[in-house]
Amino acid sequence: MQLLPLLSPKTPNSSSRLINFILISSSLCVIYLFLSLVLLHTSNMVSLTSPRAVSSEPTSIDHVVFGIASNGNSWPKRKEYVKLWWTPNRMRGCVFLDNMPPNAAPDNDSDSSCLPPIRVSENTTRFRYTYRGGLRSAIRVARVVSETVALNHSDVRWFVFGDDDTVFFAENLVKTLSKYDHELWHYIGTNSEIVVQNMFFSFDMAFGGAGFAISYPLAKVLAKVFDSCLERYPHLYGSDGRVHACIAELGIGLTHEPGFHQMDVRGNIFGLLAAHPNTPLISLHHLDHTDPIFPNMTTTNALNHLLQASKLDPHRLLQQTVCYDRWFSWTVSVSWGYAVQVFATNVFLPDMIRTEQTFGPWKRGHALAESFRFDTRARHPDPCRRPVVFYFDGASWGGDGVGVVESRYRRMTVENCSFDASTSPRKLEEVRVVSRKLELGVKQLQAPRRQCCDLLPSTAGKVMEIAIRECGEEELIYMHP
Ligand SMILES: *[C@@H]1O[C@H](CO)[C@@H](O)[C@H](O)[C@H]1NC(C)=O
Ligand SMILES: *[C@@H]1O[C@H](CO)[C@@H](O)[C@H](O)[C@H]1NC(C)=O
Ligand SMILES: *[C@@H]1O[C@H](CO)[C@@H](O)[C@H](O)[C@H]1NC(C)=O
Ligand SMILES: *[C@@H]1O[C@H](CO)[C@@H](O)[C@H](O)[C@H]1NC(C)=O
Ligand SMILES: *[C@@H]1O[C@H](CO)[C@@H](O)[C@H](O)[C@H]1NC(C)=O
């Protein structure tokens, strides 16, 4: 490239330079011809050795088969969770029960058209179960893996397993799986939020309630050896421990994806949702043990509300962006599709992306009961010193431009804070956020980048407007305290 200025036609027209020009350009031609022959040859070789890499279509929900573990007692209630995310005709797989509930006869259940088909699990009484105080249904639930493989579905890339109280965000599940080669052996999921749970079971076990995925070739091999493997682990507690043990025997460890959520916590999970890891939300779990995620709603209505946001921009759901107001010295944290928090003070970014501990431990009593596997920060005991929270209200496509989404957030809780100054964000009534639909490619998933935001000038009134953009275009505005 650096040769070019010398060869520019503006250079004085001396004959020696002309000869140089001809010599150099003809040798460049020879090099070019040589290189293109070599490249042509090697690219032929590449396409000969891996023809499928070129022709392979992107992974979609059509390539996934689900196995959902439930039982006759819990299914009539828990099916409400499955109804939230299951798309009939589009999704494949089954719910496995220990016995058919009396009113679930396929042609009598008005729900059956919007739920996965039910199968009764095979008899597992021949397996030993010796964990004292545990439930031997763990064996039946573990075998959901091999019984799902035995459904013999065609064109499967991934088997995905979950409980009847696991809520999947299907688009994000598929998007996340698409970054892995489904022709290799993969076991993908997450462990518990609670350090002691992981110490007891394993840091490298996919906790079953969070949901986990097994690639087709691994699932086929696993299914073949599963029953004989189960005989070796009668002493384990749960189903997920058995799956983990049998996959470990095949030489495969867990690939951690923090978008799956076991949710081994109780109470208010606001802090976990508001500071979600910088990766698409794949699942939520244990929603019977936690408060509804939006105030003034039932658990399922609240989940459905979150899924409405997900319909417009699934990849952005819960993705956190933080911006600063230079006049009032406010800090604003957007958890897209869920909540916007406005702090009356300047909070540094590294503190904003820690998880506010709004929730309680799964079990009390252990010294490490409240040790989590991520960064936390305490919640202020005085509600008037906490940020003002605006909850997701609705979203729509923006008027100007393709792929622009406008989401709205409003107050749903009222605190009686008498000492508020005139610059308090409590005067605000609504927050509007403008963003571009997030379309994550495989490369962005491999190198995730948090986005940034700006407060738009209209902020003075009762409505705050925020625009989300790529970071790095402008510097963050910090007001040092
Ligand atoms: C259908 O289910 C209802 C309860 O949901 C029950 O009362 C009724 O007897 C069932 N009918 C048949 C034909 O099983
Ligand atoms: C399961 O198998 C055992 C024998 O292995 C048998 O005694 C039992 O009746 C079977 N249970 C069912 C529900 O078929
Ligand atoms: C799946 O295929 C296997 C072996 O070909 C067969 O034994 C089994 O019955 C099939 N299962 C179903 C549900 O068709
Ligand atoms: C929440 O529900 C209560 C009772 O149903 C109602 O009085 C209140 O106005 C609701 N609050 C909001 C913010 O919708
Ligand atoms: C707010 O607090 C003041 C003083 O503590 C009290 O008089 C007032 O009734 C409270 N208002 C509400 C809505 O609770």
Question: What residues of the chain score a pLDDT lower than 50?
Answer: 1-15, 18-19, 21-23, 29, 33, 35, 37-40, 42-55, 478-481
Residue with CA closest to ligand 5 atom 13 = 416
* Range list of H helices, 260-398: 270-274, 299-312, 349-352
Burial of 221 (0-12, 13-18, 19+ CB in 10 A): middle
Shortest-distance Cα residue to atom 8 of ligand 3: 150
Ligand 2, CB within 6 Å, residue ranges: 123, 125-126
Ligand nearest the Cα atom of residue 412: 4
Write down the pLDDT at residue 31.
53
Closest residue CA from atom 13 of ligand 1: 108
Judged by its nearest atom, the ligand closest to the C-alpha of residue 123 is 2
CATH superfamily of 313-469: Mannose-6-phosphate receptor binding domain (2.70.130.10)
CA–CA gap between residue 112 and residue 163 (Å, rounded): 18
Q: How far apart are CA 385 and CA 398, in angstroms?
A: 34
Q: Position 198: which residue type?
A: N
Q: Which ligand is nearest to the CA of 99?
A: 2
Per-residue pLDDT at 480: 42
**Token representation of residue 332:** 């604003």
Residue pair 323/466 in contact (Cβ under 8 Å)? The answer is yes
Within 10 Å of residue 327's Cβ, how many Cβ atoms? 10
Taking the CA of residue 123 as reference, the ligand 2 atom at the shortest distance is 1
In the reported structure, the alpha carbon of residue 416 is separated from the centroid of ligand 5 by a whole-number distance in angstroms of 6
Between the CA of 106 and the centroid of ligand 2 the distance, in Å, is 24
Ligand 4 atom closest to Cα of residue 412: 13
Q: Which residue in 212, 210, 192, 213 sits closest to 201, CA to CA?
A: 192
Mutate to test the pocket of ligand 2, among 100, 125, 129, 227 (most ligand atoms within 8 A of CB): 125
Cα 139 to ligand 2 centroid, rounded to whole Å: 15
DSSP 20-89: HHHHHHHHHHHHHHHHHHHHHHHHHHHHHH-HHHHHPPPP-GGGEEEEEE--TTTHHHHHHHHHHH--TT
In angstroms, what is the C-alpha Rg of the chain?
28
Domain boundary assignment for the chain: 61-256, 313-469
3-state secondary structure (DSSP) of residue 238: coil
DSSP assignment string, 115-152 = SPPEEEPPP-TTS----TT--THHHHHHTHHHHHHTT-
User: Angle CA(300)–CA(75)–CA(205) in degrees, nearest 5?
Assistant: 85
User: What SS3 class is residue 169?
Assistant: coil
Which of the following CATH numbers is that of domain 61-256: 3.90.550.50, 3.30.70.270, 3.30.460.80, 3.60.15.10? 3.90.550.50
Residue 433 CA to ligand 1 center (angstroms) comes to: 48
Helix H or strand E encompassing 241: helix 239-249
Q: In whole angstroms, give the CA distance from residue 283 to residue 210.
A: 6
CB 359 within 8 A of CB 390: no
The pLDDT assigned to 6 comes to 34
Please say whether the beta carbons of 324 and 374 come within 8 A.
no
Residue 341, helix vs strand vs coil: strand
Residue ID of nearest Cα to ligand 1 atom 14:
108
Beta-sheet strands, E only, within 193-311: 212-215, 255-256, 265-267, 283-284
CB atoms under 10 Å from CB of 345, counted, come to 12
Residue 108 Cβ inside 6 Å of ligand 1? The answer reads yes
The residue to mutate among 418, 420, 426, having the most atoms of ligand 5 within 8 angstroms of its beta carbon, is 418
φ/ψ of 74, rounded to 5, equals -90, -20
Give ligand 3 pocket residues (Cβ under 6 A). Answer: 150-152
Closest CA to 430 of 413, 457, 410, 415: 410
Paired with 335 in beta bridges are 320, 339
Q: How many residues does the chain have?
A: 481
Tell how far the Cα of 232 is from the centroid of ligand 5, in angstroms. Answer: 65
Q: Which residues line ligand 4 (CB under 6 A)?
A: 296, 412
